């Protein structure tokens, strides 16, 4: 009887721990979806402002907010060491110089990403920014001399097919922006370059993603200033009627907060699930994001347009699965850390970003 009671108790504890774990994962995934989708729609709202055509200034301000939040998180970590976990960061000119090549690529990535979103909108954004995986394979071969398996190349072919079909269908619908497609291709290329350079400079920041974010955004703030001057955005900002509007600055700051938060929730989702699950979640999120955008804008899309989205998302998921299987075969030791690094710095977005 005692043994039976003990077994029942252990079973109840196991079921309770499973429920708690499942609930925790569900909350983390929901948080990732909320932050990522909200960030995309928020950026689209800011960039779609007819009165202020200053995408560089908007992106610059978000970098300023990220730097401020890094300082704030560092302060909270000192005041509440058991509650907030954030590395201590002191600005070092030598480290900043080592991170500079990545910061130049980083500026290109976030600028072209926002320009793509500005011109194509949220509904076509998934397709417009879909070639990151293809550029990962191409640039890894050119720069790192890394070859790719035939199965992974087939996945890239599916993504390319989906991209071209999507462009074709958007063109037939009369809503295609070639500027948006151009910026989307550039953004995809810079996402891949960012992955490669991130791996190179990680030792300079002791492998800390938050230190890297701190230095990256400080460098970006400085580098954006001459670009804002050259592209004439100073005059546009100065003449903007809503410059003293608290709602405008509130939305701008909120965009920066969500830009900072996406890095945290991405890491959190990987921690509580796995790199592969994170990629599947990201794919499902992109699908939901597209559906929300189409419904919100009351758009009517053809079957082939939806097929192009499914090809892009399916090809991306298949590529992730193929690479995961290849890593499992090639090495057993340290697989999880390696996979996490590949996901965070090379395999895929989020990127939401």
CB 350 within 8 A of CB 282: yes
How sure is the predictor about 31, in pLDDT bands with cuts at 50, 70 and 90?
A: very high
CB 69 within 8 A of CB 260: yes
Tell me which of 71-80, 198-207, 264-273 is least confident. 264-273
Which one-letter DSSP state was computed for residue 86?
-
Q: Tens digit of pLDDT for each residue in 35-63? A: 999 999 999 999 988 888 999 999 999 99
Mean pLDDT of the chain: 84
What percent of the chain has a predicted confidence (pLDDT) above 70? 88
Over range 99-108, report the average pLDDT: 93
Which one-letter DSSP state was computed for residue 245?
-
User: Which contacts qualify for 10-18: CB closer than 8 Å, 24 or more apart?
Assistant: none
Over range 81-95, report the average pLDDT: 83
What is the maximum span of the chain, computed from C-alpha positions, in angstroms?
83
**76 φ/ψ angles, rounded to the nearest 5 degrees:** -65, -35
Taken in order 271, 334, 70, 263, is the CA torsion positive or negative? negative
SS3 content of the chain, % helix, strand, coil (to 5): 80, 0, 20
Residue whose structure tokens are 């879909």: 130
CB 99 within 8 A of CB 202: no
Q: Quick one: pLDDT at residue 45?
A: 92
Give yes or no for residue 351 having a pLDDT over 80: no
Tell me which of 74-78, 123-127, 211-215, 325-329 is least confident. 325-329
What percent of the chain has a predicted confidence (pLDDT) above 90? 44
Q: Quick one: pLDDT at residue 239?
A: 92
Q: Quick one: pLDDT at residue 332?
A: 53
Over range 55-80, report the average pLDDT: 91
Taken in order 27, 32, 37, 39, is the CA torsion positive or negative? positive
Q: In three state form, how does the secondary structure of 254-302 look?
A: HHHHHHHHHHHHHHHHHHHCCHHHHHHHHHHHHHHHHHHHHHHCCCCCC
Tell me which of 226-240, 301-315, 323-337 is least confident. 323-337
Residues 6+ apart with CB under 8 A from 286: 126, 313
Full-model pTM: 0.83
């Amino acid at each position: 009887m005692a043994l039976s009671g003990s077994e029942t108790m252990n079973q109840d504890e196991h079921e309770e721990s499973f429920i708690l774990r499942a609930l925790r994962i569900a909350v983390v995934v929901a948080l990732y979806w909320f932050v990522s989708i909200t960030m995309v729609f928020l950026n689209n709202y800011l960039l779609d402002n007819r009165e202020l055509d200053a995408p560089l200034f908007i992106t610059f301000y978000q970098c300023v907010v990220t730097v401020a939040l890094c300082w704030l998180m560092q302060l909270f970590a000192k005041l509440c060491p058991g509650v907030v976990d954030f590395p201590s960061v002191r600005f070092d000119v030598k480290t900043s110089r080592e991170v500079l090549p990545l910061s130049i690529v980083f500026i290109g990535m976030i600028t072209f990403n926002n320009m793509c979103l500005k011109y194509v909108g949220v509904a076509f954004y998934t397709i417009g920014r879909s070639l990151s995986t293809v550029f990962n394979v191409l640039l890894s071969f050119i720069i790192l001399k890394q070859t790719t398996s035939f199965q992974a190349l087939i996945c890239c072919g599916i993504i390319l097919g989906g991209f071209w079909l999507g462009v074709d269908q958007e063109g037939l619908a009369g809503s295609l922006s070639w500027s948006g497609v151009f910026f989307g291709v550039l953004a995809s290329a810079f996402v891949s370059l960012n992955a490669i350079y991130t791996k190179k400079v990680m030792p300079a920041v002791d492998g800390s993603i938050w230190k890297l974010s701190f230095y990256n955004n400080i460098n970006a703030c400085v580098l954006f200033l001459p670009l804002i001057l050259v592209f004439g955005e100073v005059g546009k900002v100065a003449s903007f009627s809503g410059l003293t509007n608290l709602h405008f600055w509130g939305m701008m700051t909120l965009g920066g907060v969500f830009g900072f938060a996406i890095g945290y929730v991405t890491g959190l989702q990987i921690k509580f699930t796995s790199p592969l699950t994170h990629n599947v979640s990201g794919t499902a999120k992109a699908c939901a994001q597209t559906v929300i955008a189409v419904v919100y804008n009351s758009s009517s899309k053809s079957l082939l347009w939806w097929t192009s989205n499914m090809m892009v998302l399916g090809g991306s998921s298949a590529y992730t699965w193929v690479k995961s299987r290849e890593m499992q075969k090639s090495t057993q030791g340290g697989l999880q850390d390696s996979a996490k690094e590949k996901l965070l710095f090379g395999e895929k977005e989020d990127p939401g970003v």
